[in-house]
């Protein structure tokens, strides 16, 4: 099944974030000592932030990718994609976690860094699986 354009992005983000809310809610609960309800609120707010960031980041990434002379997604390209996405998200989530979980910015950074390590791997694996199931986006497909 080939997915392209906005439909591809919506399916990608929906599946990705549903898994992310469950995993990060549990991780935030364990790391912060807060209850699951408060942790799931933080995870849901993080998800909403990530959805917006995902759309923006991938729109610009695919525009850049379309201009590249070599098509396809190499290991190097996938690693750069995961690091760029997660690094940008870190900037948004540290203050959000500090506020929602009532922890210091440093504690929020440490929590987010722990999640970041997980999500770097998760993003890489999820995107690879997604591309295998739904095909590469037009920007990466061979001409």
In-domain check, residue 117: yes
| Contact criterion met (CB below 8 Å) for 116 and 109 | no
Per-residue pLDDT, averaged over 108-137, amounts to: 89
> What is the C-alpha separation between 134 and 88, in angstroms, rounded?
26
- Report, as an integer, the average pLDDT of 22-36: 92
Residue 143 lies in a domain: no
Mean pLDDT of the chain: 89
Average of pLDDT values for 30-36?
92
Share above pLDDT 70 across residues of the chain, in percent, rounded to a whole number:
97
- Asked if residue 141 belongs to a domain, the reply is no
Copy the structure tokens of residue 56.
Answer: 């923006």
> What pLDDT sits at residue 143?
61
Residue 56 forms part of a structural domain: yes
Between 4 and 121, name the one with better pLDDT. 121
Which spans in the chain are helix H?
5-32, 36-66, 75-101, 105-134
Find the domain containing 12 and state its range: 5-136
Q: Is 71 a member of any domain?
A: yes
Would the pLDDT of 95 be above 80? Answer: yes
Q: Does a structural domain hold residue 44?
A: yes
Q: Is 38 domain-assigned?
A: yes
Is residue 142 included in any domain, yes or no? no
pLDDT at 68 over 70: yes
- Give the pLDDT confidence score for residue 82 in this predicted structure: 86
Kindly report the backbone phi and psi dihedral angles of residue 141, in degrees, each rounded to the nearest multiple of 5, phi listed first.
-75, 145
In the chain, how many domains are there?
A: 1
Residue 52 has pLDDT above 80, yes or no: yes
Collapsing DSSP to helix, strand or coil, 107 comes out as helix
- Is the distance from CB of 40 to CB of 25 less than 8 angstroms? yes
CB of 60 closer than 8 Å to CB of 22: no
Give the pLDDT score at 108: 96
Catalogue the long-range contacts made by 4-11 (C-beta closer than 8 Å, 24 or more residues apart): 4/137, 4/138, 5/138, 8/134, 8/137, 9/54, 9/55, 9/58, 9/59, 11/134
Residue 123 or residue 1, greater confidence? 123
Tell me the whole-structure pTM to 2 decimals.
0.69
């Amino acid at each position: 099944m080939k997915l392209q354009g906005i439909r591809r992005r919506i399916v990608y983000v929906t599946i990705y974030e549903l898994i992310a809310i469950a995993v990060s809610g549990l991780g935030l609960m364990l790391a912060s000592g807060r209850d699951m309800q408060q942790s799931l609120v933080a995870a849901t707010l993080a998800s909403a932030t990530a959805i917006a960031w995902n759309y923006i980041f991938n729109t610009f990434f695919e525009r850049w990718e379309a201009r590249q002379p070599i098509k396809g997604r190499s290991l190097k390209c996938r690693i750069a994609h995961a690091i760029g996405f997660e690094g940008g998200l870190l900037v948004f989530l540290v203050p959000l976690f500090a506020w929602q979980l009532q922890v210091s910015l440093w504690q929020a950074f440490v929590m987010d860094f722990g999640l970041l390590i997980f999500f770097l791997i998760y993003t890489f694996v999820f995107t690879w699986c997604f591309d295998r199931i739904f095909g590469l986006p037009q920007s990466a497909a061979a001409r």
